[in-house]
Amino acid sequence: MDRMLVVVFDNESKAYEGRKALLQLDGEGSISVYGYAVVAKNSDGTTAVKQSDDYGPLGTLTGTAVGSLLGLLGGPVGLAIGATAGLTAGATVDLHNARISDDFIDDVTKVLLPNRVAVVAEIEEDWTTPLDTRMEAIGGTVFRRALSDVEDTVDDEEIAAIKADMAQMKAEHAQARADRKAKLDEKINQLNSKLQAHLQKAKEQRQAAEREAQIKVDILKAKAKAASAKAGG
């Protein structure tokens, strides 16, 4: 199961031990790590990325669930981005892209206080005990949440509501007087603009999900190839 993982530590040294444990678990085959970052909560409430993975395009974090979560953890004040993060100030940081609910963000931010450091990762795991045992031994507080599936449309109910309103106004337009038609035309055009914006966002999110899925496949292939080469060598 694909999950978002956040492990909070009291200091940076412990967090790097947690990063090492995360990658060891990946190497052992207990989990698969698709992307990660070590982040510190600054005294002003911003989030600084100390280190991130180097798995090709996913390593940039931009447009990924990890990248979106980092933006959400940074809060409205903004992000203090580390040099290796590759996450731009304009990156989208909404809950839909993070594919988790706001209660997960609340749970994490209650523990990820200023001067604490966390390992944030997108992983696949079938069993929680190996990771929990390793992280708790280091002193980490583990948060995890299954990632929701990316829907084919953004907010189906909202799109359906807009279409229903447009249909109603068009029906009224056919029977309205000239002065009323102009006002209805304006409202119909406004609704159509909103509808097109929703549909465009849905298209972009589908494309992003497809790219990320392909990147994950490439990561797994690269790991399998490296393991095969190591066994053969």
pLDDT in tens, 152-188: 444 677 788 888 888 988 998 888 888 888 888 988 9
Asked if 96 and 205 touch (Cβ cutoff 8 Å), the reply is yes
Question: Residue 22 CB: number of other CB atoms within 10 A?
Answer: 24
Phi, psi dihedral angles at 140 (to 5 degrees): -90, 145
pLDDT above 70 coverage of the chain, percent:
77
Fill in the amino acid letter for 114.
P
Please report, for the chain, the start and end positions of each structural domain, with discontinuous segments joined by +. Answer: 2-148, 150-233
Q: For residue 212, give the nearest of 166, 150, 168, 162 by alpha carbon.
A: 150
- The mean per-residue pLDDT over the stretch 30-53 comes to 83
- pLDDT at position 44 is 80
pLDDT in tens, 69-104: 777 776 443 343 333 333 433 334 455 556 666 778
Give, to the nearest 10 degrees, the angle between helix 12-28 and helix 129-138. 150
- pLDDT at position 15 is 96
pLDDT in tens, 141-155: 999 888 765 444 446
- pLDDT at position 52 is 66
pTM (two decimals): 0.66
Fill in the amino acid letter for 133.
T
Distance between CA atoms of 56 and 218, rounded to whole angstroms?
A: 9
- The mean per-residue pLDDT over the stretch 62-66 comes to 64
End-to-end Cα distance, the chain: 32
